[in-house]
Amino acid sequence: MATIAGWQKIDEACIVPALEQAGEKLDCAAGEVVLDFSSVRRVDQGVLQAMEELASVAAEKGVRVVLCGVNVHIYRVLKLMKLTSRFSFLS
Amino acid sequence: MITDEAVEERGRVSPATEGLTAERIAYLERLVSQARTAAAVFSQFTQDEVDRVVKPMVLAGLEQAQYLARLAVEETRLGVMEDKVIKNMVATEFAYHYVKDKRTVGVIREYPERNLVEVAEPIGVILSLTPITNPTSTVLFKCIMAIKTRNAVIFSPHPKAWNCCSEAVKIMLETAVKHGAPEGVFGCLESHTLQDNAYLMRHKDVALIDATGGPGAVKAAYSSGKPALGVGPGNTPVYLEKSADLSTAVVDIIISKTFDNGTICASEQTVVIDDVIYDLTLKKFAELGAHICNEKETKLLAQTVIDPQTGFMQPMAVGQKATSIARFIGLSVKPKTKLLIVPIQGVGREHPLSVEKLFPVLAVYRAKSVEEALRVCVDVNHAGGLGHTAVIFSRNDEIIRKFGEVINAGRIIINSPGSIGALGAVYNDLVPTFAFGCGTGGGNSTTDNVNIYHYLNIKRLARRTQAHMWFRVPNQIYFNLNAVENVRQFPSRSTIIVTNPALERIGHVDIVRRYIPPETHVHLSVIPDTEPETKVVSETVEALKFYKADQIIALGGGSVIDAAKIMKLKYESPEADLEELAAPFLDLRKRVVEYPTAKVNRARLIAIPTTSGTGSEVTPFAVLTDKQRRRKVTLADYSLSPDVAIVDPQFVMSMPKGLTADTGIDCLTHALEAGVSNYASPYTDSNAMQAIRMVFKYLPVAYEHPGDEEARSMMHNAACIAAMAFSNASVGVNHALAHAFGARFGIAHGRANALMLPHVIAYNAAVPTKFMPSPYQKGYVAHKKYATVADLLGLGGRTVEEKVSKLIAATEQLLDQLEFPRSIAALGISKEEFERTVPELAKTAYDDPSWRSNPRMPLMAELIELFWQAYHGRGPAEASGAPQQAG
């Protein structure tokens, strides 16, 4: 059972820096990091790119990235981008 | 678990990498990836956000219309700059006018009366091939459509129009992004090759190909295995009919054929002119700047502007001025010549100029008659222009309609220029477009003017509708002892009583005659007491005609009343074809065959039953035996229902015990099957439940004490009440089994029903192997309704399962009281014989329409199992492997 080592609230005003920050902290994460998307209403190309990069780094380091509070519109965008399989989701 | 990747793999077409370097593939992948991301982001946009992007794009297009037109002409060397400006403006302003108020995000249309809602879903990444003939206007138009529908587009312009197209894409992209659209929403292939197109057409992330271009591009799009919108080539025939406003027609044709030097594929190609106006028409053309070619000039043109090998137009002539073409081939024409007119004598390879000519050369044909003119137009239409565009100038509506019928074209333009008319929204109310769907005739998927709705997946939210139901019975039913007296209130000049010999013999006919008004002429038609035959029916219909009957009194059991129903039908509507009317149907309201409403005679039908079971006095059914063809014809229609039913128990007091039991159980089966039917409603339930209660209470009494007036009266009423229920809710699988078995072994209908009944109750109460689709019921309720019956009968039981068991036991007990044989074996039918017969019985039962309203869909194997249960006669509760009760 993984220990939840990191939890980070994502602010809609600065999603990309927050994702980058999360990426930097992956080394410290004990197997899992949780990103709270509940205040994010929409994502753009920059966010999608940052998420792809985060997913790649996390996979390399064997860290599971859990997204919580993702609204269904964003979930659909992630689906269209074929990114859902690279993250875990929590309601 | 099925993963996204697995689903994607299933729909994937193999990539076409042939002839591409790794760098080129990487470039193409970047292009697609950018578009895919943009489309994904775009899918989150609201309608307002989308509309805020569209308008500035339109304004930018209008602003740059002249600049882009100039670029296009300079680069392609085709067409007329001034006309291309108009095209660019139509592509933006007119397209905007059409789309501005249209919803393209979320719910786009609602149909409350149909419980339907349409929701828009963007397509994703569109690969768009654009032509050399209308390069910038097509790009502008498609950009506006794509933004309005939240799609991303990768443009693949014609190589000879790349600069102007990429400039148009750039203008549109910059404006769109400036106003909020996602970066990368439009991309444009750089110096592409056919291999690039092939790769993109088969790319897994390209959702749709929109190919506006030459036949090669369209064919490649359709061959890619991807959904495609392709538009075919044209060859527009024009019929200039003698009633036309000639001056307008000639100007319109010149406007159209010279517009952008004839590059629009909807432009006129061959004008078929009525003989009487031919010379005048050519004169008018000449007056307005056309050069009418003589035979030698026509031949010269045919040799130079049409490729003798392929039969298609030479590319060097496309989009060129008439004077340029003339100069090129050494033809002497006036300096301001707009159009070269070439008379032709036919259509096809022998007449090279009859094909599509995207330049200002127009063929004309002199037609001696309307028929000839239409025939030649059809020939032109089939010579490369199927599904595209056609034009007619006429004031004769009949000829216009005929033209519309015989010409296969997505756009048939009337009394206006073909090319601009086909673009839509200028001369008519067609949807504005720069892509003409040509239907299957042109190898396309649509005949529409391609528009925003082709750039959307439209999802339909279909709510369950409240199905309309009905409850129809004769509007006059008289019941209780001596109800027959009511016959006197029906005036008649000529009445025929239809009955059988036994009833005449025992004096029932005399009782009825007593109440018929004295002024009425009464005639008797005595028919055998068997299922009515066609011959007997025909004979009585002759009698009805002869006596000019206005009233039929049917006195008898189900057979006599059924016969009278059919007699009335054939008397009132002699053209009624009984074979056709007996055609099978699933839903009475959607049946293919309709019963006649026109009547040459009219007669009131009064039904007086003399048995208490069939309920034929109120039902809309009749069964007829066709002895010649050895088959039964079952008719069902509310028009067959008698007008008046008289349910008088005095006519059943003398029923023998066996008939009392048989008909009584028939009545119980009607009520039980109507009660659990998929067509059951609160209206039919009230009748069914009451009839069941009456049967359980009074049938044993009527059987044991035939002279008990109350029991007889109540059973007579119960039969009629049950019939009202099943007239509207129909019956079920019990009847299907009983019909098949009874007919094969000559067993009375009620008796056959009795053999099946306990097993069918258990069968319907169990969890169905297969549910029957029914819009009329919510959930599976048969077992609960049987439990309600048990409660009504006071049988006890705590759970639904217990109550159903008690109902089955009570039914078994009733059958025992009535001394029914309790198994098919008890009828003396050997197991071997039954075994041989069962497969055929199951097939016959399956063909019987009765089970269509059964709550559970019977499978063939289940019908066989039910037959075997009836054969052995074991109570369902004892049967091993009895199905699990529905919860």
pLDDT score at A2: 39
Inter-chain CB proximity B43 and A44 less than 8 Å: no
Classify domain A6-90 at the CATH topology level. Transcription Regulator spoIIAA (3.30.750)
Among B3, B5, B43, the residue with its CB nearest the CB of A80 is B43
CB contact under 8 A, A42 and B5: no
Rounded CA-CA distance B295/B301 in Å is 10
Give the count of Cβ contacts less than 8 A between chain A and B: 39
Q: Which one of A19-33, B572-586, B634-648 scores highest in mean pLDDT?
A: B634-648
The pLDDT of residue B4: 56
What does the mean pLDDT of chain B come to? 93
Overall average pLDDT of the B451-477 stretch: 93
Q: Which residue out of B2, B41, B45, B119 would a mutagenesis test of the A interface target, given it has the greatest number of A Cβ atoms within 10 Å?
A: B41
CB of B441 closer than 8 Å to CB of B407: no
Structure confidence at residue B826 (pLDDT): 95
Fold topology of B476-588+599-650: Rossmann fold (3.40.50)
Contact A43 B5 (CB under 8 A): no
Catalytic: which of B265, B293, B438, B667?
B265
Q: What are the tens digits of pLDDT across the range B116-169?
A: 999 999 999 999 999 999 999 999 999 999 999 999 999 999 999 999 999 999
Calpha distance B866→B848 (Å, rounded): 15
Distance in Å, alpha carbon of A28 to nearest chain B alpha carbon: 31
- Name every chain B residue with its beta carbon within 8 A of the beta carbon of A42: 44
Q: How far is CA B135 from CA B219, B222, B269, B773, in A?
A: 19, 21, 22, 53
Look at domain B236-435 and name its CATH class: alpha beta
Which of these, B128, B691, B773, lies nearest to B454 by C-alpha position?
B128
The mean pLDDT value for B479-500 works out to 97
Q: Which chain B residue's Cα is nearest to A44?
A: B41
Q: From CA B222, how far away is CA B209, in angstroms rounded?
A: 8
Q: Is B39 on the interface with A (CB under 8 A)?
A: yes
- Position B497: which residue type? I
How far, in Å, are B54, B97, B431, B458, B460 from residue B101 at the CA level? 11, 8, 14, 17, 21
User: Which of A45, A73, A81 minimises the CB distance to B182?
Assistant: A45
pLDDT at A26: 87
Chain B neighbors of A37, CB-CB under 8 A = none
User: What is each CA distance from B507 to B218, B490, B504, in whole angstroms?
Assistant: 85, 22, 5
Give yes or no for residue B9 having a pLDDT over 60: no
> Which residue does chain A place closest to B41, by CA atoms?
A44
Report residue B291: phi and psi, to 5°. Answer: -105, 120
B61 φ, ψ (degrees, to nearest 5): -65, -45
- Residue listed under structure tokens 């063939």: B860
Residue-level pLDDT at B7: 53
Angle formed at CA B495 by CA B492 and CA B499, multiple of 5 degrees: 145
- Mean pLDDT, to the nearest integer, of B513-522? 96
User: Does the pLDDT of residue B730 top 90, yes or no?
Assistant: yes
Residue B438 known to be catalytic: no
Chain B residues 163-222 with CB within 8 Å of chain A: 182-184
Share of chain B above pLDDT 70, in %: 96
Give A28-53 pLDDT, tens digit per residue: 777 899 999 999 999 999 999 999 99
Q: How confident is the model at residue B219 (pLDDT cuts 50, 70, 90)?
A: confident
B40/A81 touch (CB, cutoff 8 Å), yes or no:
yes
For chain A, which residues make up each domain, given as ranges? 6-90
Residues of B in Cβ contact (< 8 Å) with A84: 4
Tell me which chain B residues have a C-beta less than 8 angstroms from the C-beta of A73: 43-44
Task: Name every residue whose Cβ is closer than 8 Å to that of residue B440 and which is 6 or more positions away in sequence.
Answer: B387
Q: Is domain B658-872 given the CATH code 1.10.10.10 in the classification? A: no
- Name the minimum distance, in Å, from the CA of A73 to any CA of chain B: 6
Chain B, 111-170: which have a CB under 8 Å from a chain A CB?
124
Nearest CB to B3; choose among A74, A76, A85: A85
Alpha-carbon torsion (B866, B868, B871, B876), positive or negative:
negative
Nearest CA in chain B to A52: B37
**Alpha-carbon distance B886 to B467, whole Å?**
25
pLDDT-based confidence at residue B631 (cuts at 50, 70, 90): low
pLDDT classification of B619: cutoffs 50, 70, 90: very high
Which residues of chain B make contact with A74, given a CB cutoff of 8 A? 44
Chain A closest CA to B216's CA: distance in Å? 32
Q: Determine the pLDDT at residue B880.
A: 34
- pLDDT at position B877 is 44
For residue B332 the two structure tokens come to: 């002497």
Comparing C-alpha atoms, which of B162, B210, B347, B160 is closest to residue B271? B347
Chain A hits for B43, CB-CB cut-off 8 Å, are: 73, 76-77, 80
**Residues 6 or more apart whose Cβ sits within 8 Å of residue B53:** B147, B176, B179, B180, B181
**pLDDT band at B752; cut points 50, 70, 90:** very high
Domain ranges of chain B: 32-164+179-230, 236-435, 476-588+599-650, 658-872
Shortest Cα distance, chain B CAs vs residue A14, angstroms = 17
Cα–Cα nearest to B268, from B259, B256, B252: B256
Q: Which runs of E-coded beta strand occur in B260-376?
A: 268-274, 290-292, 339-343, 361-367
Residues of B in contact with A83 (CB under 8 A): none
Q: Does B549 touch chain A (CB under 8 A)?
A: no
CA distance B431 to B156: 24
pLDDT of B335 higher than 50:
yes
Q: For residue B5, what pLDDT band results from cuts at 50, 70 and 90?
A: low
Q: What is the per-residue pLDDT across A8-27, written as a single tens digit (0 to 9) for each?
A: 999 999 999 999 999 998 88
Taking CB atoms and an 8 Å cutoff, what residues of chain B touch A45? Answer: 37-38, 41, 182-184
Q: How many CB atoms lie within 10 A of CB B371?
A: 10
The answer on pLDDT for B341 being more than 60 is: yes
**Chain B: closest CA distance from residue A58 (Å):** 20
Chain A residue closest in CA terms to B35: A45
> Which of A77, A78, A79, A87 to probe by mutation at the B interface, max B CB count within 10 Å?
A77
Per-residue pLDDT reduced to its tens digit, B756-765: 999 999 999 9
Interface ipTM: 0.86
Nearest Cα to Cα of residue B647 among B676, B665, B632, B667: B667
Instruction: Tell me whether B3 touches chain A (CB under 8 Å).
Output: yes
Q: 42-61 in B: which are within 8 Å (CB) of A?
A: 43-44
CATH of B32-164+179-230, one of 3.40.50.300, 3.40.605.10, 1.10.287.810, 2.102.10.10: 3.40.605.10
